[in-house]
Chain A
Amino acid sequence: MTRAPLSLKIAAIGGLAFLHVPLLFILLYCFTTEEKSYAFPPPGFTLKWFGVVWGRADIWAAVGLSLKVATIATVLALVLGTLAAGALARARFFGREPVSLLFVLPIALPGIVTGIALRQAFGLMEIPFSVWTIVLGHATFCIVVVYNNAVARLRRLSPSLIEASMDLGADAFQTFRLVVLPNIGTALLAGGMLAFALSFDEVIVTTFTAGQQSTLPIWMLSELIRPRQRPVTNVVAVLVILVTFLPILAAYYLTRHGEAVAGSGK
């Protein structure tokens, strides 16, 4: 084993500090007694903000809405993204490349363009803003991440596996369930988690498609303008970190032994 030079170690520590020290400040100011501004060091230590968060109905409404939107958008993306990937991974037809590009475009497009386009479209069609308009907005980019993951895995899947399955008597549905799905399962898990995370903290598209409702990020943004009870946002942020960190950790351990998990042969 070779040892890294000192300069490289310092750079690595510096990089990690840059990424994570701000998170420590979020944590620190959950416990401050000063509610109007963040002074360093905090003047006192208290746990009362956790109680305040627990008692605020607007926070729970925003969390509930965000979870609902992210879940529906992810499920929608898993179904549509997988189907699109299945169609485009290997088939050759006229216009295949433009269609693939159109699928990936929404994630390259600035959110503000997607947002305003959707808002105008909903307006023209006289669709009232609701949970469903937010879901549709989020689905535009959620589909892309699922599609990208699925298409990459499908292209690595040997086409003869599918032929072998059909050769042995399985119809298209059995082949999908018994051969394709187990082999792309971890890619769908990764794509789905990413889609969920993207939806959960999306601000721009949501602003244009939400109407009166607040998802959690929108609630946080509006909270910054208020002068009082600032540590409440910190407490919420810490809870969000915990909630998003756990599934990512779980997915990491699940996919680490990808083949073994996907193929228990049930």
Chain B
Amino acid sequence: MHAHAAPLATPAVRLAGVVRHFGAVRAVDGVDLAIAPGEFFAMLGPSGSGKTTCLRLIAGFEQPDAGHIEIFGDTVEGLPPYRRAVNTVFQDYALFPHLSVGDNVAYGLRVRGIGRSERDRLAGEALAMVKLGGMEARRPAQLSGGQRQRVALARALVVRPKVLLLDEPLGALDLKLREEMQSELKGLQRALGLTFVFVTHDQGEALSMADRVAVFNEGRIVQVGPPEAVYERPATRFVAGFVGSANVLDARQSQALGGPARPCSLRPEKILLLAPGAPGPDGAVLVAAEVTEVSYQGPVRRVSARTSEGLALTAAVPAGTTGIMAGATVRLAVPKDAVRPMEGEE
């Protein structure tokens, strides 16, 4: 058992030693995971890292080649999707094109044998919950991307799943809508007290929405924890680079910058650029470096520099810091504790 996964109650979802191959490809290669009831859980990773396959294993679209899957204590491996108390919001929404919005939402109730008037009432309530009240008669083709997303959400929630699975739920939306839906999803999850498991390749989305994040790489989970822990203390070189950006240091370089003698990460925004003659903060290590590149990125300016020992460092400084040119020599301050050991690296 991992130290980070010790919820007290029966986990909403538990995976133990789950393996899934496709031919020679080990898409999911020994995943252990426990998701607590009511948790908003993100599975983050690049494409091909196994996060989507993991979600499909929980939904029942894939069966594991080895290992064990439980939903609220019930073993589900071997069960088809229609026998599992989980529902999915698909990446392409998968709305039935031949049914109206109301009939789409009522579909799960219909196959359960619930009568027309009752299911229309429940579907209407579910649509009102996602702010689409009165849209029952429309066709999916007549809706915008954001509205389709809401219909998909209502359709999955109306059958009262114990766990809601979301596959890249915001991937197809434009930036403005995505931010809106982020807070709406979060609010909905809080109001319903439901367990949400969502897959994303967008680290910003995972950090801002999730209670806990599992970072996937090459079919395995490389780190699980609350967003702050994953971001502030990346366990491996991969996490440091995938979740945000980082200066990755070997043992010798870490020591030179005031860290322990092990591989460490150093977030660019922790590094300070000192004005000429200004003192650094207490306990900070000061280094002189020659600027190799400056790029303006809106909120910050990204300064790449090389120290006299040949170490390349990237610092993110407030965008208002002007007058830095490539070729200039600057003084950088690395505060105490900014250099963080990566526990998964030797």
Q: CB distance B87 to A167 under 8 Å?
A: yes
Question: How far apart sit A165 and B61, CA to CA, in the bound complex (Å)?
Answer: 12
Q: Which of A158, A163, A167, A182 contacts B98 (CB 8 A)?
A: A182
Q: A183-B98, A262-B98 are in contact. Are A169 and B111 (CB under 8 A)?
A: yes
Asked if A170 CB lies within 8 Å of chain B CBs, one says yes
Q: CB distance B96 to A170 under 8 Å?
A: no
Q: CB distance A265 to B99 under 8 Å?
A: yes
Contact with A along B248-260 (1 / 0, CB 8 A): 0000000000000
Q: A160-B90, A161-B96, A164-B90 are in contact. Are A259 and B139 (CB under 8 A)?
A: yes
Asked if B81 CB lies within 8 Å of chain A CBs, one says yes
Residues of chain A within 8 A of B70, CB atoms compared: none
Q: A61: shortest Cβ distance to chain B, in Å?
A: 43
Residues of chain A within 8 A of B112, CB atoms compared: 169
Contact with B along A174-195 (1 / 0, CB 8 A): 1000110011000000000000
Residues of chain A within 8 A of B40, CB atoms compared: none
Residues of chain B within 8 A of A158, CB atoms compared: 92, 94
Q: CB distance A164 to B103 under 8 Å?
A: no
Residues of chain A within 8 A of B80, CB atoms compared: 166, 171
Residues of chain B within 8 A of A171, CB atoms compared: 80, 82
Residues of chain A within 8 A of B303, CB atoms compared: none
Q: CB distance B100 to A169 under 8 Å?
A: no
Asked if B59 CB lies within 8 Å of chain A CBs, one says yes
Q: CB distance B99 to A160 under 8 Å?
A: no
Asked if B97 CB lies within 8 Å of chain A CBs, one says yes
Interface size on A, residues (CB 8 A): 21
Asked if A168 CB lies within 8 Å of chain B CBs, one says yes
Interface of A: prevailing SS: helix
Q: CB distance B111 to A168 under 8 Å?
A: yes
Task: Specify the chain B residue showing the minimal Cβ separation from A258.
Answer: B98
CB neighbors of A among B90-134 (8 A): 90-92, 94-100, 103, 107-108, 110-112
Q: B90: shortest Cβ distance to chain A, in Å?
A: 5
Asked if A123 CB lies within 8 Å of chain B CBs, one says no
Residues of chain A within 8 A of B59, CB atoms compared: 163, 167
Interface size on B, residues (CB 8 A): 30
Q: A29: shortest Cβ distance to chain B, in Å?
A: 48
Q: CB distance B87 to A263 under 8 Å?
A: no
Q: A31: shortest Cβ distance to chain B, in Å?
A: 48
Q: CB distance B82 to A170 under 8 Å?
A: yes
Cβ-Cβ contact count across A and B, 8 Å cutoff? 76
Residues of chain B within 8 A of A163, CB atoms compared: 59, 61, 81, 88, 90, 94
Residues of chain B within 8 A of A164, CB atoms compared: 88, 90, 94-96
Q: CB distance A170 to B98 under 8 Å?
A: no
Q: A169-B112, A178-B111 are in contact. Are A160 and B92 (CB under 8 A)?
A: yes
Residues of chain A within 8 A of B82, CB atoms compared: 166-171
CB neighbors of A among B66-97 (8 A): 80-82, 86-88, 90-92, 94-97
Residues of chain A within 8 A of B103, CB atoms compared: 265
Q: CB distance A170 to B111 under 8 Å?
A: yes
Residues of chain A within 8 A of B97, CB atoms compared: 161, 183, 259, 263
Task: Specify the chain B residue showing the minimal Cβ separation from A263.
Answer: B98
Residues of chain B within 8 A of A167, CB atoms compared: 59-61, 81-82, 86-88, 156
Asked if B150 CB lies within 8 Å of chain A CBs, one says no
Q: Which of B92, B141, B159 contacts A169 (CB 8 A)?
A: B159
Contact with A along B38-74 (1 / 0, CB 8 A): 0000000000000000000001110000000000000
Residues of chain B within 8 A of A263, CB atoms compared: 97-100
Question: How far apart sit A235 and B213, CA to CA, in the bound complex (Å)?
Answer: 78
Question: How far apart sit A158 and B94, CA to CA, in the bound complex (Å)?
Answer: 8
A selection of 19 A-B contacts at a CB cut-off of 8 Å is A158-B94, A160-B90, A160-B92, A163-B61, A164-B90, A164-B94, A166-B60, A167-B86, A168-B111, A169-B82, A169-B112, A171-B80, A178-B107, A179-B96, A182-B98, A183-B98, A259-B97, A263-B98, A263-B99
- Name B's A-contacting residues (CB within 8 A): 59-61, 80-82, 86-88, 90-92, 94-100, 103, 107-108, 110-112, 139, 141, 155-156, 159
20 further interface pairs, Cβ-Cβ under 8 Å (given A167-B87, A170-B107): A158-B92, A160-B90, A163-B61, A164-B90, A166-B61, A167-B59, A167-B60, A167-B61, A167-B86, A168-B82, A168-B107, A168-B108, A169-B108, A169-B159, A174-B111, A183-B97, A183-B98, A259-B97, A259-B141, A265-B98
- Name A's B-contacting residues (CB within 8 A): 158, 160-161, 163-171, 174, 178-179, 182-183, 259, 262-263, 265
